[in-house]
Chain A
Amino acid sequence: MNPVEHQILQTRREFLATSANGLGMMGLGALLSQEGILRADTVASTDPLRPREPHFPAKAKNCIFIFLEGGPSQMDLFDPKPKLNELHGQPLPDSMTKNVRFAFIRKETARIMGSKRVFKKHGQSGMEFSDYLPHMAKHADDWLMIRSLHTDQFNHHPGQLVLHCGRAAFGLPTIGSWLNYGLGSMSKNLPGYVVLSAGRGTSGGASLWQSGFLRSSYAGVLFRNQGEPVLNLKNPPGVPMALQRKGLDALMELNQSRYDQFRDPEIASRIAAYELAFRMQAAAPELIDLKDESAKTLEMYGVDRADPPIKASRGGGPGQYKSFATNCLLARRLVERGVRFVSIMHASWDHHSNLDNELAYNAGMADQPVAALLTDLKQRGLLDDTMVVFGSEFGRTPLGENRGGNPNTTGRDHHPFAFTMLAAGGGLKGGLTYGETDEIGWGIVRDPVDLHDFHATMLHQFGFDHLKLTHRFSGRDFRLTDVSGRVIKEWIA
């Protein structure tokens, strides 16, 4: 950056920062008109992301949703089933599989598969984690572990839609969209809903951060792993920021004069949008620039770890350890900057075969950075109002997968009837292990939790009655929890 450009940017940044401080929670439109940048009168009330109050005082303000695409094996990570080793190689009684559908398992020859994992109790609470998650285990007293989740979909994309949108249907908003719709965004120069990804693409693709029938202002913005973090953030070659500013000033004047003639608030919104775009051009690179993070922090997240060697890791290629760790650190930086919802996606955990090796690889990738994220949020006082979720669309079977009748099973199939997710912060009760599965992890024996219940409770922590956070579309008041959902009071600290 040349000195002139730097100075212009600096002045402008200070100007906006000072004004922003003075204005607190006002929306960008109002902010701009206060600054005299925009003589608009109607923007503030039409800004879809202006901050709003929820139904009742909220415990949580931000969410970091870590989505492990594909269905990690709960009995190899969170839910120890010693009985499986006893029964290893034995069939299940017909009665158990009679009305059950599988993706790949052949019922007639399917056999139970034991786990080589060693589980230990951790923390005051004695929460159990497998030896694949030594760092996350240190936060046993911060996590809420839910072992009794179930869903009604056993294929990936439909399952992922349930987890993110509440139903296996298209055209619905995701949780992140609902929260931005309900609460608006506190961020003045970043989107309210950011998606970070590592590994290969997810099955659900863009449908996992869509805004559905809500306007696209509430859709997630996918940050990129390489180059500019936001698409089209960089000016075309040869256009410095100083000239960008001059160009935008001219543009504002042209648009302003059209506004003076037409008085259409959409023109004012567009002027505001260009200003926010300009700010984002400075804010997003600043966000991903980790130079002000201490060496200790970088080390804690494991940002510079190399990938361990592995023959197969379900796609994604090299660099997943670095990307995932960086994403966890970026999530904290995003939350610090007022971003409402950060989605971290990683694919894939769909271990139909070679489970021990590939799960070790994935768990090794996630364990340290996720633990560091909790530590970091906590030490900065952010964990109280930031909810961290760690989970997937379903779990895996206690049966080994014998696709095509193959007797050499090294993986597990999709299991929607009982699976585990973790959550921390945002006013949830740490150290609580909720729900119980039977001795082989097939079904739920205590406190079943539908994903709608999980959603209802999440929304509750954000200050919403899940029955009332609705949007009317096609004659119906839609909500995240579709037609069910109950708040699970036991989870609330």
Chain B
Amino acid sequence: MDLRLASSLVCLISALPAGAADYTRDIQPLFAEHCLECHGPDGSKGGLVLTTQQGAMKELKSGTKGIVPGDIASSAVIERLLTNDPDDRMPPKDKKPLKPAEIELLKAWVKEGAKFDQHWAYKPITQPKPPAAGHPIDAFVRSKLAEKKIAPSPEADRYTLIKRVHYDLLGLPPTPEEVDSFIADQSPRAYEAMVDRALSSPHYGERWGRHWLDAARYADSDGYEKDRARLDAWRYRDWVIRAVNEDLPFDQFTIQQVAGDLLPDPTPEQIVATAFHRQTLTNTEGGTDQEQFRIEAVMDRTETTGTVWLGLTVGCARCHTHKYDQITQKEYYQLFAFYNNGDEVTRQVPTSPEAWNTYEKTNGDAAKKLVPLQKQLDAAKAQLPAKLPEWEKVVQARLAEARKQATKATFAPLEIASIAAKSKTKFKALPDGSQLAIGKPVATDTYTIELTSSSKPLTAIQIEVLPDDSLPSKGPGRSKNGNFVLGTITLLHGKSLSEAREVPLHTPKASIEQKGFTAAMTLDADPQTGWAIKGGTGKAQQITWQIATPPAGEKLFLRIEQEYLKSTEHTLGRFRVLGSSDVTEDSIAPAEVVKILSEEPKRRNPVVILPLWAWMEKVDADVIAAARAFETAKARLPKPPLMDARVIAQRTSGVRKSHVLYRGDFLQPADEVQPGVLAVLPKVKDTSRLDFARWLVSAENPLTPRVTVNHIWAKLFGEGIVSTTTDFGVRGAKPTHPELLEWLSAEFIKQDWSRKAFLRLILTSATYKQESKHRAEMLEIDPKNELLWRQNRLRVEGEIVRDLCLAASGLLAPTMGGPSVFPPMPADVAALSYAGNFSWKTSAGPDRYRRGLYTFFKRTAPHPDLTTFDCPDANITNVKRTVSNTPLQALTTLNAEAYAEASQALAERVLRAPGDDTSRLAQALRFCLTRPATPKEIQVLRDLLAESRAYYQAHADEAKLTLGTHAASGVKPEENAAWIATARIILNMDEFITRE
């Protein structure tokens, strides 16, 4: 035995008494901080794994055992902690060493038998009994305070309370009337009633919906380079607000968002809910591999779910097994597999349930029938991606053949079996096969022609318009200048006209086009616009359409609608119809579609591919049939309030297998995996996404309630009971009040996951109602207020800073929901967005003054007023915002356009009412601070008002500049300006934007 070992042996006796070391409290955090990076789930250097007793007791590569329970001397872990040999000593020298006291704890723990325990967050929830009578939250919090002999803070005054509750629940200041009535309310339930009133306000849904939208990484654009606008994104935002207002229980709220599409016979609202996972980014940068970014989005869904519901950093296991937590890489891909067959689709949904109800009420059963027809149309469209490969094979073969033959289309006149006009116009057949219109020219007309069936199917059709001496200016049209407007052309195919089906035409081309009257307009379904030939009258001209699906057998009909209303008699005078049966490249599909077909499938990004989908919808028999049924039903009704929404739908054909991806690389799939959850958590019933959604909120899964309760707590106290809101794993913080967290989690489930009930529970506790003043004596004992001996002061979020200013100044437009809006923003912010694909058109009218959460959020160029106040960038999920305090924030509320306007409006608001300086200043302060002003505050502001008056009386010209669009009527500009300068300072008070 060398001296070194002898000296360490001396230390191999624990100095601590029995029971001194607790695994969960003392040992696991030490392992997590110092050891698991190498001796954890992802690695077992030397054979040592310190997450289970079994792993720790195994014989190591060195022949010793890491831990021998009860035997410090034989435990290699302890020896390696104590050895003086720098090469052997643990942790390695580049890592943070353990403190002697920590080593003592480890020794005591080994001596006591080295008992491991399951990580606290994975254990089932049991509801402990509160340690005292009264409000359970206070019982838990105060018993801990009592242990440390700390007195809780007194209840805040009523002004503070109503302001606090309104800021927390609504994000708006209470009105002076609300304040007065609360202050005057002598009933013992005055506070509870005030809380209930706030909870029933629809603004509650905006406030708490916005918290959820952070988690949902909600934005109004795609993200990445192109960052295109998502003009329908707001539909999901409104779903969230509605769900929160209706207090949709959190378990249902979860299931609908994760798997609403898989619920039996889902409602449109349940479909919209799945847009939670459509908030992922879309990369339409040229040359991207679409599979890479599809997988990236599925990974984001997996990791967001991990963060939002499980409070686990599952993303760490994307490339390798988690270093600290028991999440293997395989398990990551098991979670991933739940989402891997949820496809990104677009569905038509009502613009809102209310709008749809009204529509149904007004239009009765006919309107009700639209819903199933719409679903059938969506379903038919949803099949297109699956049909594409087969369809493409045929088209590619035809294209290849046409290219090989390099055929040019030749046209021959088609025989006209009959021709009729809607008007009294008659036709004379001429020897060249053309038709000449005779009779009194009419302003608008429709010609219907039956063609004698040709021997070969037509691949293109042409109308040749011809001059004729009988026509004004020789024609070919019947208007005075010889022109016409060919409005809409329709080719039909069938046994008879009444049974005939439309044959899609494409790629219109003409020998000449008048500006604003192009060949393309003959296919736009608007017969008032069309093709005209100014500059080419008096001569023969041609227009040609291609036929991708050549009709064979049966009869062909051609309908020419001419409804141009801006001038008179713009109808066709003399023309003939020609056809071609040559299969050319042009005829097979429109050029833009052929271009997409020449791209490798993996490069066809969601934008690039749009014309292809549009084309397939035109030629796919199922879509055509479904569309016809829907259109027919719709035709008799007013325009239904429907809109497109991006949602998730389960893939039913071509179902993907899921694999572990080596190092997270989509090009390196390894073992196949089945959907499944983490082994440390209770089992999931089955493998569908719906099973997974139900598992997330099942009674057995302890994480979702703990994590959710903690999120809510953190919004009301500034910190969670677990301060690491995103990490409930072994490296996360321990709960400051573990029993309280357990009790709240169980209570949340007991109250049927009602968020309103839960908020009411917290808001009625004395703990919540405490003053937020710091206390000198606590500076040493608990400077961070972990024990909750007071409330915390919280600066409100960027959106709320805006809302408060708008509300206090009287500018706020309280309208809820609908498309996102564009409040004033410096022009060059939007301009810096890539490709200049975005212009910010400032909203007019009330939309200029909407709440912050309705501001259009473009990911690569978000509104600076929001981001300056820490609004997250929506690229990844966010469950807790950072809070900074910067000079840029000061500049924003002092100078930004919206805030400058608020100071004008606040001045106008107080000047409008009668009063003197003092009463007006008091009123302005009341609008902003809720509480009555102090004499000192009045004095400071009176001085400022006086100084401002003096300045503007000397500078009347400048006074006028300050008024903006909110000048107070009957007030001199100098006086008005002085008030604006003063109001501006009131709106910048720290207290105003702080929940105290």
Contact = CB atoms under 8 A, between A and B. Distances in A.
Interface stretch (A87-95, A137-145, A264-272): A264-272
B896 interface: yes
Given A157-B283, A250-B944, A264 B896 contact: no
Given A233-B895, A475-B325, A103 B288 contact: yes
A467 B95 CA distance: 10
B804 to A, nearest CB: 15
A201 B795 contact: no
A338 B878 CA distance: 33
Interface in B183-228: 224-225, 227
Given A222-B832, A250-B943, A262-B774, A277 B891 contact: yes
Nearest to B885: A269
A205 B894 contact: no
B832 A201 contact: yes
A146 to B, nearest CB: 25
Interface string B834-867: 1110000000000000000000000111101001
B988 A251 contact: yes
Given A215-B884, A267-B990, A201 B834 contact: yes
Contacts of B834: 200-203, 205, 347
A237 B895 CA distance: 9
A33 to B, nearest CB: 16
Contact of A235 (B94, B894, B936): B894
A224 B941 CA distance: 34
B885 A254 contact: no
Interface in B903-928: 903
A258 B990 contact: yes
B598 interface: yes
A157 B227 CA distance: 11
Contacts of A276: 887, 890
A151 interface: no
A270 B873 CA distance: 23
A221 interface: yes
A441 to B, nearest CB: 20
Contacts, number: 240
A31 B36 CA distance: 44
A157 B285 contact: yes
Given A207-B873, A236-B900, A236-B962, A217 B947 contact: no
Contact of B289 (A101, A258, A263, A269): A101
A76 B124 CA distance: 64
A155 B834 CA distance: 14
A264 B862 CA distance: 31
A319 interface: no
A164 interface: no
Most buried by B among A206, A214, A267, A405: A206
Interface in A138-171: 154-158, 169-171
Interface stretch (B270-278, B486-494, B552-560, B724-732): B724-732
A156 B894 contact: no
A162 to B, nearest CB: 14
A313 interface: no
B247 interface: no
B937 A257 contact: yes
A280 interface: yes
Contact of A247 (B225, B599, B876, B984): B984
Contact of A273 (B826, B886, B934, B961): B886
B875 interface: yes
B287 A254 contact: no
Given A221-B888, A270-B885, A203 B225 contact: yes
A404 interface: yes
A203 B991 CA distance: 39
A255 interface: yes
B832 A197 contact: yes
Interface in B386-404: none
B40 to A, nearest CB: 12
Interface string B265-304: 0000000000000000101011111000000000000000
Given A205-B227, A205-B860, A315 B875 contact: no
B921 to A, nearest CB: 11
A213 B955 CA distance: 47
B777 to A, nearest CB: 12
A238 B959 contact: yes
A389 interface: no
Most buried by A among B225, B732, B793, B894: B894
Contacts of B81: none
B562 interface: no
B227 A273 contact: no
A239 B599 CA distance: 59
B943 A156 contact: no
Nearest to A253: B940
A265 to B, nearest CB: 8
Contacts of A261: 773
B595 interface: yes
A171 B307 CA distance: 14
Given A224-B828, A242-B951, A257-B937, A232 B882 contact: no
Contacts of A101: 289
Most buried by B among A233, A244, A251, A274: A251
Contacts of A48: 884
A27 to B, nearest CB: 13
B94 to A, nearest CB: 7
A191 B886 CA distance: 10
A254 to B, nearest CB: 5
Interface string B818-833: 0000000010110111
B981 interface: yes
Interface string A214-242: 11110001101110001111111111101
B313 A475 contact: yes
B951 A315 contact: no
Contacts of A473: 726
Given A201-B860, A205-B227, A257-B937, A264 B885 contact: no
A102 B287 contact: yes
A226 B829 CA distance: 11
Given A250-B941, A250-B944, A206 B860 contact: yes
A234 B897 CA distance: 11
A400 to B, nearest CB: 15
B972 to A, nearest CB: 14
Most buried by B among A240, A257, A273: A273
Interface in B704-745: 724, 726-727, 729-732
A232 B287 contact: no
B727 A474 contact: yes
Contacts of A203: 224-225, 285, 834
Nearest to B991: A258
B727 A237 contact: no
B889 interface: yes
A243 interface: yes
A158 B285 CA distance: 10
Given A251-B988, A255-B989, A269-B885, A475 B793 contact: no
Contacts of B890: 270, 273-274, 276-277
Question: Across chains A and B, which 7 residue pairs bring their CB atoms closest together, nearest first?
Answer: A103-B287, A205-B860, A238-B961, A170-B875, A238-B962, A203-B225, A475-B731
26 contacts: A201-B832, A201-B835, A206-B861, A215-B882, A216-B884, A217-B885, A231-B826, A232-B891, A236-B903, A237-B964, A240-B958, A254-B937, A255-B990, A257-B934, A262-B772, A263-B774, A266-B795, A269-B885, A270-B885, A270-B990, A273-B886, A273-B887, A273-B889, A274-B887, A404-B598, A474-B313
Interface of B: 94, 224-225, 227, 281, 283, 285-289, 307, 313, 316, 323-325, 595, 598-599, 724, 726-727, 729-732, 772-776, 793, 795, 826, 828-829, 831-836, 859-862, 864, 867-868, 870, 873, 875-876, 882-892, 894-896, 900, 903, 934, 936-937, 940-941, 943-944, 947-948, 951, 955, 958-962, 964, 977, 981-982, 984-985, 988-991, 994, 996
